[in-house]
Amino acid sequence: MSSKADAAIIDLLRKLNRNVEIVSRKLERLIEVERSAGGHALRPSVSVPENMPLDVTTLLGLPDHLRKSALALASLGEATATDLSKETSRVRAVESDYLNQLVAMSLVKKKRKGRDVYFYIES
Amino acid sequence: MAFHSYKGGTGKTSLVVNLGALFAKQGANVCLLDYDFRAPSLNVLFKAKPQYWLNDYLEGKCEIVDTLVDQSARFKLPGKLWVGFSNPSLEALKDIMGKDRKWEVKALTKTLAGKKEIIKDKQVDYLIYDTSPGAQYSSINALAGADLVSLVMKADEFDLEGTKELSKGVYEALGRKSGIVLNKIPLEQIAAGGGAESFGKQIESDVGLPLVGLIPCMCELMAMGGKTIYTIEKPDHTFSKSIGQIAEKLKKM
């Protein structure tokens, strides 16, 4: 094999190694998020009846961790997970997961604006 | 802050008006919002006919600051006393009773947005909601908007049981700081409870919330409640002094 081919393989292996490191770091971060959320973050969420509006009675029926996100979102109007994390003093990844749980429960909607994802309560 | 109760007739409105007036008298900028949409009463005491009601704001017909009427000049107060009134007409009462849950979602977001707008635009130091008793939508919306909830109660058993439920199911769930104001307490009941301090401690332990104030029952207040702002007109009255003590406790919470 030529030295040029060797260099190309070494370069490819380095790139692969870098990608493995990135994936590994992300996995560690996910585990950390799960731990810091007391086991809520990666689990399936509670279920609510279909077409339930996010009014105060629904809000009071939510588990504490989701209620905090929903209430903060109601206060901000429209927000990214980063905006919410500043309001709730929780890490962005946790907030993002909770917001997506609320989206999955059809209580919150989301839309993309450029690179950012905005969450909002439809009223 | 919000003043709330399990039952009606506990004296929330008198407390809200007198406390707000006292804060404004001390130089603070205050805003009172009548969130008792089912039985509006601030308009009676202030004899106001605003251009816009709080109902109009929730319907999206105006900004929340358009509903506020400044009462400070009328009472010669050094601080501002803004008041937002809810519409007492039968038409408005019927309208509010017919609202669906979707409308209540909008009312909640508008309540939270309105709070921010008032603080920013009017630079108020104290925003005080007077609410409907019990678990009414408008009341819980106001509680969600408040950082501090004062639960006003009389000391009968019915009030005590319902109050415990409210404390556990609503205030704790919303994560709001809260305290109790015991109002209209007969002197005999205080004496039977071993004096004000001991009686207050017993209620604190029963409800599980700290006591913010204890106001004895005064017949005179029943007759003059809707006509006189004691903290302005009778600052040396026992009721005004009780409000003064409550104000100092609330400032520290």
For residue range A71-95, list pLDDT tens digits in order: 999 989 899 999 999 999 999 999 9
| Identity of the residue in A67, A74, A122 whose CB atom sits nearest the CB atom of B108 | A74
**Domain chopping of chain A, boundaries:** 1-36, 48-123
Contact A67 B173 (CB under 8 A): yes
Give the type of residue at A33.
Answer: V
B73 to chain A, closest Cα gap in Å: 33
Name the band, by pLDDT with cuts 50, 70 and 90, for residue A21: confident
Q: What is the pLDDT of residue A31?
A: 63
Residue contacts between A and B (CB atoms, under 8 Å): 50
What is the sign, positive or negative, of the torsion defined by CA atoms of B206, B208, B211, B217? negative
Higher pLDDT, A123 or A95: A95
Contact A56 B173 (CB under 8 A): no
Residues B6 and B152: beta-carbon distance below 8 Å = no
pLDDT digits (tens, 9 = 90+) for B173-216: 888 888 999 888 877 777 777 777 788 888 888 888 899 998 88
**β-strand B81-84 against B177-185: which pairing, if any?**
unpaired
Please state which CATH class domain B2-252 belongs to: alpha beta
CA angle B249, B144, A39 (to 5 degrees): 105
Cβ atoms within 10 Å, residue B94: 9
Chain A residues within 8 A of B119 when measuring between CB atoms: none
The residue in chain B having the minimum alpha-carbon distance to the alpha carbon of residue A74 is B109
Q: What is the pLDDT of residue A36?
A: 62
Structure tokens at B11: 């004296």
Highest mean pLDDT among A10-14, B85-89, B222-226: B85-89
Q: What is the pLDDT of residue A44?
A: 45
Q: Treating both helix axes as pointing N-terminal to C-terminal, what angle do B196-207 and B157-166 enclose, rounded to 10 degrees?
A: 50
Higher pLDDT, B189 or B113: B113
Chain A residues within 8 A of B106 when measuring between CB atoms: 123
Q: Which fold has domain A48-123?
A: Arc Repressor Mutant, subunit A (1.10.10)
Higher pLDDT, B226 or B241: B241
Structure tokens at B40: 């509006």
Q: Which of A75-79, B92-96, B135-139 has the lowest mean pLDDT?
A: B135-139
pLDDT digits (tens, 9 = 90+) for A28-65: 677 666 656 665 555 545 666 667 788 888 888 899 89
Chain B residues within 8 A of A123 when measuring between CB atoms: 102, 105-106, 109
Instruction: State mean pLDDT over B88-101.
Output: 90
pLDDT digits (tens, 9 = 90+) for B33-77: 999 998 898 988 898 889 999 999 999 999 999 999 999 999 999
B106 to chain A, closest Cα gap in Å: 5
Contact A123 B106 (CB under 8 A): yes
- Tell me, what's the ipTM? 0.74
pLDDT at B106 over 60: yes
Q: What is the pLDDT of residue A1?
A: 58
Q: Environment class of residue B221 by beta-carbon count within 10 Å: exposed (0-12), middle (13-18) or buried (19+)?
A: buried
**Domain chopping of chain B, boundaries:** 2-252
A12 to chain B, closest Cα gap in Å: 53
